[in-house]
Copies of this chain bind each other. A is one copy, B any other.
Amino acid sequence: MMKEIRVGLIGFGTVGKGLAATLLQQKDRLRQRVGAAVTLKRVADIHVKSLPEEYCGVTLSQDAGDILTDPEIDIVVELIGGIEPAKSFILAAIAGGKHVVSANKALFANHGREIFAAAVKNNVEIGFEASVGGGIPVIKSLKEGLVANRIEAISGILNGTANYILTQMTDHGSLFAEVLKDAQAKGFAEADPTYDIEGIDTAHKLAILMSIAYGLHVQIGDITTEGISTIEPIDIDFAREFGYRIKLLAISRNHGDHVEARVHPTMVPEDHMLANINGAFNAIEFTGDTVGDILLYGQGAGMMPTGSAVAADVVDIGRNILSGSVNRVPALSFLPEFIGEPRITPMSSLTCPYYFRVTALDKPGVLSRISGIFGQHNISIKSVIQKSRHADEPVHIVLMSHQASEADVIKALAEIDGLEICTAPTMKIRILVDEQD
């Protein structure tokens, strides 16, 4: 008799439909690769009254409990998103000895610790490949492909919506608000885009990557997060003039006894691969002490790409069920007893080059006054451009600094923005340096 891996799916939204379609379309291929049928047995979704007819063998229910209590189900796939009831469903599945696959980055970044501890206690697996980078096998690559590496740094474009907006602004010189509205109309951005544009979704994903890269319990609160809503077309133009593209990056660097953890708009040198990741695509760069730089690129979201990643987790766990090797690879890459508490580098001690755009009245001596303040705070300026758009309007003075400390920058900007000749807060964008250590 054919062996079978039996899957119960909670949540028949976009990604849920993607998983169901994937398991159906790839049925024969999965049998030929796994040596077993990987079968969707049950779907639960409170909003769904009937399934398309191609899923005639699948039992639909409005109650997730029907999946959680079905002894036939091996793997529970949670694809409803959000914290509750997703968290309760997952914990119930674990308590019932079922393996779990989920794409829920918000949940793992907020409550991963509790969930992974419960999974260890109950000797079940948690698959979360689809929580970062959509269909890109980023978590498997990090946990297994780079197993013989100390991860030195992570830099990534992890949110397709934010990258789509920045790409549109760059290509068409449009305003942030216009592009966002257009993206919402086209379905590329959600009605409430806060998580995407304010970097929160990116921070969730960075917390997950840092946890497995370093063996640390990193959570959302550890990540300093700034979004892209304050970026103006003029910043994108100046960036281009200096040879940079502005990207919303997740950045972490491993300093051994402390690790950086930050998400913010970043000036990326135009010849860097991350500068050339456009539209809704994602890319993640890992620097390993053995392997050097590795970059993984692909669609970071969407029904089928995410379905591909969820299905890969289902297969991975299914293979462990079949071969009796559950938890063959620890969920967080390190065995639970070796996972430590993170010490996060305070932002004030961060050092990097900066872009500053000061908005000031076009009075004699203004440049000397502003550059004087930077100098007093140990911020050395590499180049300056001053441009006025119209007579009688404030001018933009753009300064690119050498390496400067964030603490000094904050003090200098407080002083500069307090000048009566400055008519708007100074825009500050950190610049990516590849070999910052």
Complex formed: what's the CA distance from A146 to B129 in Å? 12
In A194-230, the 8 Å CB interface with B consists of 215
Mask: chain A, 17-38; 1 = CB below 8 Å from B; 0 = not: 0000011011001101111000
Pair A304/B316 contact, Cβ less than 8 Å = no
Size bin of chain A's contact surface:
35 or more
Instruction: Decide if A325 is an interface residue (CB 8 Å cutoff).
Output: yes
Instruction: Decide if A110 is an interface residue (CB 8 Å cutoff).
Output: no
Q: How far is the CB of A120 from chain B (nearest CB, A)?
A: 13
Partner among B29, B276, B292, B330 whose Cβ is within 8 Å of the Cβ of A148: B29
Mask: chain A, 116-137; 1 = CB below 8 Å from B; 0 = not: 0000000000000100000111
Instruction: Decide if A140 is an interface residue (CB 8 Å cutoff).
Output: yes
Q: A291-B135, A328-B319 are in contact. Are A308 and B30 (CB under 8 A)?
A: no
Copies of this chain, whole number: 2
Mask: chain A, 34-45; 1 = CB below 8 Å from B; 0 = not: 110000000000
Comparing A185-193, A333-341, A388-396, A427-435, the segment that makes contact with chain B is A333-341
Instruction: Decide if A372 is an interface residue (CB 8 Å cutoff).
Output: no
Q: A26-B290, A292-B299 are in contact. Are A144 and B137 (CB under 8 A)?
A: yes
Inter-chain contacts of A293 with B (CB < 8 A) = 298-299
Apart from A23-B148, A32-B338, list 8 A-B contacts with CB within 8 A: A30-B147, A33-B147, A137-B141, A145-B312, A146-B308, A148-B315, A291-B308, A323-B323
Shortest Cβ distance from A283 into B: residue: B295
Pair B137/A146 contact, Cβ less than 8 Å = yes
In A305-338, the 8 Å CB interface with B consists of 305, 307-309, 311-312, 315-316, 319-320, 323-325, 328-330, 333-335, 338
In order of increasing CB-CB distance, the 8 nearest A-B pairs are A137-B145, A148-B311, A323-B325, A325-B325, A135-B291, A32-B338, A290-B308, A291-B308
Inter-chain contacts of A334 with B (CB < 8 A) = 32-33
